Amino acid sequence: MSKEYKAEHIKVLKDLEAVRRRPGMYIGSTGPRGLHHLVNEVVDNSIDEVLAGYCREIEVIIHPDNRITVIDDGRGIPVDQHPIYKKSALELVMTTLHSGGKFDDKTYRVAGGLHGVGISVVNALSVFLEAKVYRDGKIWRQTYSRGKPTSPVEIIGDIEKEKSGTEITFAPDPEVFESIEFDYERISRRLRELAFLNKGVSIEIEDKRTGQRKKFRYEGGIIEFVKYLNQNREVLFPEPIYIEEERGRVYLEIAIQYNQSFIQDIFAFVNDINTEEGGTHLSGFKAALTRAINDYARKMENKEINIMGEDTREGLTAIINMKLPNPQFEGQTKTRLGNSEVRGIVDSVVYEGLTRYFEENPPIAKVILQKTVSASRARLAAQRARELTRKKESLGGGALPGKLAACSENNPQRNELYIVEGDSAGGSAKQGRDRKFQAILPIKGKIINVEKSHPVKVLNNDEIKAMIAAIGTGIKEEFDISKLRYNKIILMSDADVDGAHIRTLLLTFFYRYMQGLIREGHVYIAQPPLYKVTNKKKEYFLYSDGELNNLREKLKGEKIEVQRYKGLGEMNPEQLWEATMNPETRTLYRVSIEDAVEADELFSMLMGEEVEPRRKFIEEHATEVSELDI
């Protein structure tokens, strides 16, 4: 490598070269998430036309060769020549970063794609892209490959003057992406969400690979969204509370409904973007909710009750849907809203709306107050248990659970915590591990189902208390990722039905009480082997029947001994280390939340009170099971 570093070594990446060099900067990753982000970017352009009031129908088509087509009936991308750049606006938008009509508030009053990188990034990362524009009585077309035009902007036909819109077809570049296989369900979930957030808009998806087709249209908008989220729960009142108001240039709608669970689900959207990390709009909502319920409690002469914010959100399902010009997001990922003026607007609108609703609907107001007061009393009763989550002792301190086999190094960035099913497997894991950086916490049997249990009961459960103390971050409102003692939290259970149930119970606990662990990518699932095969004194650990069949084919009739593992406890420490704990040879799956709404729905359905949705899910997916070990 040359030590010289002169001006000639500085490279300026022209047009879309930067996107192809560093795609992760623009779409997050080159895995499935980044691939599907391309679809979102194109659809978001159509949704921006919806927000501007010009589009009512969107269609998404997945072709057999994994091309995607997105069609809308908006105004159509302009095709006339730009006065400064002397090229068609269509070509400019498709081939130039930070170009578009969203940098002032004349063309789009509100929009999600404010950075102007969306469609051009899709173009850069596609081996083929075709843009068709329907406007001014003509069909205009241009094609591209890897961000560069392969044809001029040309007229290819006539249409009725009234018809307008844009049609984008793209094929993702296999040189960029790990896989170009699109997931129909994943795309459907996002389209359904967009249909909820834009009432009356028709969004259709068709998968020409399988013939599947869905059409989403919700005249009730976010009211239907809340009902959808609560479909597997027992609600306190049938119709969600709905508040809608426009203040200045900010449009806000809120839908809330309480259920009998102990879980809070608040999803906040800004210009159709799910702000998963919240922001000023969410802060304003929480403050107004707490104040409105406290004021109503005082009117009802419950002055001795001290209701806190967390009490008012127990069993709450809420959607916050905000449209505003010039939102200030944290980065291109847009996960947190930063506009300071928004907090006061949301606070005022929600407080006034709820106060008015409580006065007009006393029976429902009383039901909400009873739920909140009950939560408040339970919180006070649980205070001692919650104190266990706030211990600040160091890794070797006395607050750690007695059955935790701690690691010797005090390096949270390197350390790992294995949560192991059963004392037998826990014993083998303790003996087989690398004591420097691997800690072992055995848990006995199936932990409490936090989806159906009151927080008091959850926090008094010995296994839960041991995990909270070992991990160190605290839970819920007190959760602090900076106090995490282990970079990897690894769930290790048997490869059978009971093991799968234990993993689901553990994941439900982490999702509901320590969601930040999953969001930050710290939760993993260990993959224990199903078989140990011995051939000529050589051992193979295999993780599926397919791997076993492949090995038999490879060895072609040679004598082999096959041992089928029924549980981790059957493996000696050396085998457990080699197969599931050695970083060089083990298989780990990182748990992620690709879709918070979908994750919430799934946990509620699988672990909640309602039996019928769970039975239906099992019936529908039973045929997908390739291995069942009972």
Show which residues are catalytic: 421, 494, 496, 498
Helix boundaries (H) for 514-578: 515-519, 545-555, 573-576
User: What three-state secondary structure class fits 512?
Assistant: helix
Give the span between the Cα atoms of 324 and 83, in whole angstroms. 30
The DSSP code for 575 is H
The residue among 128, 133, 122, 190 whose CA lies nearest residue 163 is 133
Give the span between the Cα atoms of 4 and 352, in whole angstroms. 66
Q: Which helix (H) or strand (E) covers residue 385, if one does?
A: helix 383-387
Exposed/middle/buried for residue 304 (C-beta within 10 Å: 0-12, 13-18, 19+): exposed
The CA-based diameter of the chain, rounded to the nearest angstrom, is 83
The residue among 260, 243, 261 whose CA lies nearest residue 319 is 243
Query: Tell me, what amino acid is at 343?
Result: R
The residue among 429, 393, 361, 402 whose CA lies nearest residue 574 is 429
Give the span between the Cα atoms of 60 and 391, in whole angstroms. 51
CB 293 within 8 A of CB 314: no
Torsion sign across C-alpha atoms 144, 114, 279, 366: negative
Residue whose tokens read 């947190």 = 336
Pairing state between β 416-421 and 488-492:
parallel
Region of 275 please: left (phi>0), alpha (psi -120 to 50) or beta.
beta
The residue among 73, 154, 90, 168 whose CA lies nearest residue 126 is 168
Where does 234-369 show beta strands of DSSP type E?
241-247, 250-258, 265-270, 273-274, 316-323
Give the span between the Cα atoms of 95 and 117, in whole angstroms. 10
Angle at 338 between CA 337 and CA 339, to 5 degrees: 105
CB 30 within 8 A of CB 177: yes
Give the span between the Cα atoms of 78 and 355, in whole angstroms. 47
The residue among 331, 230, 334, 227 whose CA lies nearest residue 278 is 334
For the chain, the C-alpha Rg in angstroms (whole number) is 28
Pairing state between β 273-274 and 241-247:
unpaired
DSSP characters for 437-500? TEEEEEE-SPPP-TTTS-HHHHHT-HHHHHHHHHH-S--GGG--GGG-S-SEEEEE--SSHHHH
